[in-house]
Amino acid sequence: MTEPLLTVRNLKLDIPVASGTLHAVRGIDFELNRGETLCIVGESGSGKSLTSLALMGLLGKRILRKADQMTFDGTELTTMSAKELRKLRGGRMSMIFQEPMTSLNPAYTIGDQLMEALLLHQPVGRAAARARAIELLEKVGITAAESRLGQYPHQLSGGLRQRVMIAMALMCGPELIIADEPTTALDVTIQAQILRLLVDLTREMNMAMILITHDLGVVARVADKVAVMYAGELVETGPAADIFATPCHPYTRGLLRCIPLPGKTERGSELGTIPGIVPSLVGEVEGCVFRTRCDYAEAACREAIPHRTNGAHRFRCIHPDGMRHAEEVPA
Amino acid sequence: MTDMNANDPLLQEVSGPSPSQILIRRVVTHQGLMFGLAVVLLLALVALFAPLLAPHDPYAQNLLARMKPPVFLGGTWEYPLGTDHLGRDYLSRLIYGARVSLMIGAIAALISGFIGTALGVSAGYFGGKVDAAVTFLINVRLALPVVLVALAVVAVMGGSLQIVIMVLGLLLWDRFAVVMRSSTLQIRRREYVAAAQAIGASTPRVILSEIMPNIVNNLIVVVTLEMAHAILLEAALSFLGVGVQPPTPSWGLMVSEGKKMMLFDAWLVLIPGAVLFVLVLAINLMGDGLRDVTAPENRS
Amino acid sequence: MFLILWSTPVLNFILKRLMLAAIVALTVSFISFSLMFLSGDPAAALAGETASGEDIEAIRALYGFDRPMLVQYWEWLGSALSGDFGQSYYFKLPVASLIADRLGVTMTLGVCGISFALLTAVPLGVAAAIRPNSFIDRLSLFLSVAGQAMPSFWFGLILIVVFSIKLGLLPPSGANSWRHFIMPTIVLGYYAMPAIMRLTRAGMLDVLSSDYIRTARAKGASETRVLFKHGLRNAIIPVVSLAAVQMGFMLGGSIVVESIFALHGAGFLAWESIGRNDLPTVQALILIFAMFYIVFTFLADVLNAWLDPRMRSS
């Protein structure tokens, strides 16, 4: 097997706060092959967005990043100079953000901002950049692309702006695209369109994608791999098929109970909820972070938790099968 | 599960300080605010007890003791800060000058605060035509050159303490109106205002008991800043010879009188100006500090 | 660019704004005219304290103060619109030409002052916003706090003591060469600097934490490009308005600076005329300084509409 496009080993993100250190992300590992789609799921505050910003090197100055390994196509990202990293950003890896309404610069036209993405990385003229911008605007389904180039962001709707953001991310033909809840801020009808577009384009252009979302319905449709984050930890990760067929971590199963699945959820039956709140991550955390909300918590959960591996499917729980047998519906 | 979580370190919350404790701590640890408060308090006490503190009569001329240098320039402790061209004790005039500055600043800020708050709150509360009219008035007021208009009025009506105070009070309401208008606009949209209106509270009652308590923080901040503004303007007017008239001890007037002898005795200008600078600085720091500690985004 | 500027919404905005400016100007003209009637009897004020009753009556008839005030205002406004502000009581010359002679100095001072303020305040504000709590941030905070408390007449005198009297480097008064303008520029500019600096810093801090700055970084733009092309371009928009407003205030406030440095500009003329009870000159000067403010704020709004695409088409 070839080397993965992206490898992350033991990534830690710490934020100094008034009452100590907030361990926002605590030692996560994952890898991603070319052309694959990895979905990172989890509640708000679980560290998904921070993880994606850490990959792009876009963390705020206050946040400390540590990792044993973080390689993109064999190059270590943590030791890279700012200049080399800039070459990578927007060139070979690019990002789409959650807030299309505010992610475009209000002072410049769509065309200027699209062309800038290409001109920063490739030695092409403005005419070529303009042609590429039109090509991509058409590709993301914007009609009358040429006339849009002269418009300002405030003249476009949220859905259109997110399409522009996607076009901008694709300007240099990246190998990896990170989309951080790209549809959360949009109308429900637009959400599906944008997501479809994103997935189609990644397949067509053979890009790897990290899609951050809390929508498991979306994950079920698009993911090759799934990583479930809870309170700064990756509690379960593996091929999408395995995760959905045999979810091992009690938290993953809790999440899955929260969504209606066609054919699986009975009409009229109640959807699940996970009671309790996410614990504070300030200070050292011993043992399993989910124990305060877990139905199967025991005294041993406060001690070191083993990593359990089944091929590419990994999870962390003191119970060998994450107590899956207790919930197995008798066939 | 509940038993399990009873003393789980993951759920241990440190009990935080109360809001008033937080506010006090914020005030006490705000260096600018504490410095400003201390200086303003000190000068206010000096102004209040001027007759007890001043070593001489600030008006008494002693033609035999003219232009005595201050102690640090070789003078005697008889006149710690020296004497002016009429032989009046400089320290005593400075001490009485604090009365003039603080009184003018405080009363002018009160008058302009009253006008500006009335205009700003009605504009924000009633909106529509009232708002348009007030905005227009603010525009007109801002277009008038303050120093020039104050000079002209004082020149026409004669320079006295009362007239200077009135002119400044009638001219400096613009910032009150602007700030109170936008603060009222924000509060007006809140649910509790609608609730008060819904239960049939009268307009004055809604304004006094629902709106005012929520914008009073901003009002206090503007009062301090405008007080500093008024003190500076009075000094400038007196310096130009159309503010407080001699022989009243005003710091601006003292700088103006000292200007003629600046070539050899720069201290005559430096001392009153420095005191004026420190007082205005202290009031501004107090205002900025109050804004910092009471700003809604800082409130937990 | 100008084609965009003349689109219908912008044109409407400009027309509306122009109307407002005209009404404000009219109101200001009435106020500046009626200020002279505050004492109740302009003739008595003009004649001075030693004048006899007959003298006052003579002056009243000569200047037409015996007619209703509104009639006098109407006449005054009519001639003011055609550039005639009457005769100066003191110089016995047309006020308009008197002021025209003096405006050059005041305008030079105003332009130098605002340039000095912008050239110090904007770089300091930007530097402070890029590195909050750094030495440069503290320095600019100190400069702005001190500037807001500094009585400009005192600051001017200190500069004279240091640079003219002690060091003998700069002339203390007059307007014969560019060196005469150095100290007045610093004093007047320092008056406008704190507000501009604070707004630049706050605007820049706000912009730098915005999503589109993150987008620019994610594109791989260099830090300089992020700060200036994407950041400052947006943060500078409100600063332009403020600078125009400050320019208006500064011209009105140049009276103090001109009197310290004996710069014979319009502010100095105003100061002299007030001392001489020269009412037509004072009235005209108040109106002219107010008009400067009105024109500058109007230009600032138009410039803003041009700089901010959101205003251009909304």
**Which residue of chain C is at minimal alpha-carbon distance from B282?**
C149
Radius of gyration, alpha carbons of chain A: 21
Q: Is the pLDDT of residue C282 over 60?
A: yes
Which of B43, B144, B148 is best to mutate for the C interface (most C CBs within 10 A)?
Answer: B148
Of A82, A94, A105, Cβ closest to residue C218: A94
Give Cα A58 distance to the centre of its chain.
14
Q: Is the pLDDT of residue C193 over 90?
A: yes
Mean pLDDT taken over chain C: 85
Give the C-alpha separation, A255 to B10, whole Å: 21
User: Counting runs of H as helices and runs of E as strands, what totals does chain A give?
Assistant: 11, 13
* B121 and B180 Cβ atoms separated by less than 8 Å: yes
Partner residues linked to A12 by β-bridges: A26, A66
pLDDT tens profile A33-48:
988 999 999 888 788 8
Structure confidence at residue A278 as a pLDDT band (50, 70, 90): confident
B143 at interface of C, judged by CB pairs closer than 8 A: yes
Give the C-alpha separation, B198 to B205, whole Å: 13
pLDDT cut 70: percent of chain B above it: 92
List of chain B residues whose C-beta atoms are within 8 Å of the C-beta of residue A297: 1, 4
* A40 and A55 Cβ atoms separated by less than 8 Å: no
DSSP A166-193: HHHHHTT--SEEEEESTTTTS-HHHHHH
- Positions of E strands within chain A: 6-17, 20-32, 37-41, 64-66, 69-72, 75-76, 93-96, 176-180, 208-213, 225-230, 233-239, 307-310, 313-316
pLDDT tens profile B57-107:
888 777 777 777 877 777 777 777 778 777 788 888 899 989 889 999 999
CB contact under 8 A, A154 and C314: yes
Q: What are phi and psi of A15, to 5 degrees?
A: -120, 115
pLDDT score for C128: 93
CB contact under 8 A, A291 and B4: yes
**Which residue of chain A is at minimal alpha-carbon distance from B14?**
A19
Among B94, B95, B113, smallest CA distance to B105 is for B113
Partner residues linked to A316 by β-bridges: A307
Of A97, A120, A154, Cβ closest to residue C310: A154
**Which residue of chain B is at minimal alpha-carbon distance from C44?**
B156
pLDDT score for A3: 82
List of chain B residues whose C-beta atoms are within 8 Å of the C-beta of residue C150: 277
Among A150, A78, B288, B104, smallest CA distance to C144 is for B288
Give the C-alpha separation, B230 to B250, whole Å: 13
pLDDT score for A329: 56
Tell me A272's DSSP state: P
Tell me B83's DSSP state: B
**Which residue of chain B is at minimal alpha-carbon distance from C143?**
B281
CA distance C40 to chain B (A): 9
Q: Is the pLDDT of residue B127 over 60?
A: yes
C-alpha distances (whole Å) from A326 to each of A87, A110, A292, A322, B159 are 51, 55, 19, 9, 93
pLDDT score for C180: 85
List of chain A residues whose C-beta atoms are within 8 Å of the C-beta of residue B8: 291-292, 302
**Which residue of chain C is at minimal alpha-carbon distance from B288?**
C145
CB contact under 8 A, B9 and A286: yes
Q: Is the pLDDT of residue A261 over 70?
A: no
**Chains contacting B (3 or more CB pairs within 8 Å):** A, C
Burial of C37 (0-12, 13-18, 19+ CB in 10 A): middle
Cα-based torsion angle of the residue sequence A127, A128, A133, A139 in order, rounded to the nearest 10 degrees: 130
pLDDT tens profile C18-72:
898 999 999 999 988 888 777 666 676 666 666 777 777 777 777 777 777 788 8
Lowest mean pLDDT among A117-131, B29-43, B141-155, C2-16: C2-16
pLDDT tens profile C208-246:
989 999 999 999 899 899 999 999 999 998 898 889 888
- Positions of E strands within B130-267: none
CB contact under 8 A, C219 and A58: no
Identify which has the larger pLDDT, B296 or A117.
Answer: A117
Name the 3-class secondary structure at A209.
Answer: strand
Give the C-alpha separation, A274 to A258, whole Å: 8
Give the C-alpha separation, B195 to A2, whole Å: 66
- What would the mean pLDDT of B171-178 be, rounded to a whole number? 93
CB contact under 8 A, C211 and A99: yes
B219 at interface of C, judged by CB pairs closer than 8 A: no
Q: Is the pLDDT of residue C155 over 90?
A: yes
**Which residue of chain B is at minimal alpha-carbon distance from A277?**
B11
Partner residues linked to A228 by β-bridges: A41, A236
pLDDT score for C276: 83
Assigned token pair, A212:
């951050």
Which of A280, A288, A301 is best to mutate for the B interface (most B CBs within 10 A)?
Answer: A280
* A324 and A247 Cβ atoms separated by less than 8 Å: yes
* A176 and A96 Cβ atoms separated by less than 8 Å: no
Q: Which amino acid would we find at residue B84?
A: D
Q: Is the pLDDT of residue C7 over 70?
A: no
B72 at interface of C, judged by CB pairs closer than 8 A: no
Give the C-alpha separation, C6 to B300, whole Å: 48
- What would the mean pLDDT of B181-189 be, rounded to a whole number? 88
pLDDT score for C15: 87
CA distance B187 to chain C (A): 23
A154 at interface of C, judged by CB pairs closer than 8 A: yes
List of chain B residues whose C-beta atoms are within 8 Å of the C-beta of residue A285: 10
Structure confidence at residue C1 as a pLDDT band (50, 70, 90): very low
**Which residue of chain A is at minimal alpha-carbon distance from C222?**
A86
CB contact under 8 A, B10 and A285: yes
pLDDT cut 70: percent of chain C above it: 92
pLDDT score for A263: 61
Q: How many CB pairs under 8 A join A and B?
A: 24
* b/e code A204-239 from CB counts within 10 Å (16+ = b): eeebbbbbbbbbbebbbebbbbbbbbbbbbbbbbbb
- What would the mean pLDDT of B214-227 be, rounded to a whole number? 89
Give the C-alpha separation, A311 to B180, whole Å: 66
CA distance A268 to chain C (A): 42
Q: What are phi and psi of B252, to 5 degrees?
A: -65, -40
* B283 and B33 Cβ atoms separated by less than 8 Å: no
pLDDT score for B177: 94
C-alpha distances (whole Å) from A94 to each of A220, C108, C216 are 24, 51, 11
Structure confidence at residue B131 as a pLDDT band (50, 70, 90): very high
List of chain B residues whose C-beta atoms are within 8 Å of the C-beta of residue C252: 145-148
- What would the mean pLDDT of B250-274 be, rounded to a whole number? 85
- Positions of E strands within B117-205: none
Q: Per residue, what are the HEC states of chain C?
A: CHHHHCCHHHHHHHHHHHHHHHHHHHHHHHHHHHHHHCCCCHHHHHHCCCCCHHHHHHHHHHHCCCCCHHHHHHHHHHHHHCCCCCECCCCCCEHHHHHHHHHHHHHHHHHHHHHHHHHHHHHHHHHHHHCCCCHHHHHHHHHHHHHHHCCHHHHHHHHHHHHHHHCCCCCCCCCCCHHHHHHHHHHHHHHHHHHHHHHHHHHHHHHHCCHHHHHHHHCCCCHHHHHHHHHHHHHHHHHHHHHHHHHHHHHHHHHHHHHHCCCCCHHHHHHHHHHCCCHHHHHHHHHHHHHHHHHHHHHHHHHHHHHCHHHHHC
* A70 and A30 Cβ atoms separated by less than 8 Å: no
CB contact under 8 A, C157 and B262: yes
Q: Is the pLDDT of residue A100 over 90?
A: no
- What would the mean pLDDT of B130-142 be, rounded to a whole number? 92
Give the C-alpha separation, B160 to B157, whole Å: 9
**What's the pTM value of the predicted model, to 2 decimals?**
0.85
pLDDT score for A273: 73
Structure confidence at residue B123 as a pLDDT band (50, 70, 90): very high
Q: How many CB pairs under 8 A join A and C?
A: 72
Name the 3-class secondary structure at A47.
Answer: coil
Q: Is the pLDDT of residue B15 over 60?
A: no
Mean pLDDT taken over chain B: 84
Give the C-alpha separation, A85 to A255, whole Å: 36
Return the sign of the alpha-carbon dihedral for residues C308, C201, A158, C223. Answer: positive
Chain A interface, Cβ < 8 Å to B: 19, 279-280, 285-286, 289, 291-292, 294-295, 297-299, 302
Structure confidence at residue B130 as a pLDDT band (50, 70, 90): very high
pLDDT score for B216: 87
- What would the mean pLDDT of C66-80 be, rounded to a whole number? 82
List of chain A residues whose C-beta atoms are within 8 Å of the C-beta of residue B5: 292
B170 at interface of C, judged by CB pairs closer than 8 A: no
What ipTM describes this predicted complex? 0.86
pLDDT score for A260: 67
Q: Is the pLDDT of residue B9 over 70?
A: no
Give Cα B206 distance to the centre of its chain.
28
pLDDT score for A60: 82
Partner residues linked to A210 by β-bridges: A38, A178
pLDDT score for C89: 78
DSSP B252-270: HHHHHHHHTTTTT-THHHH
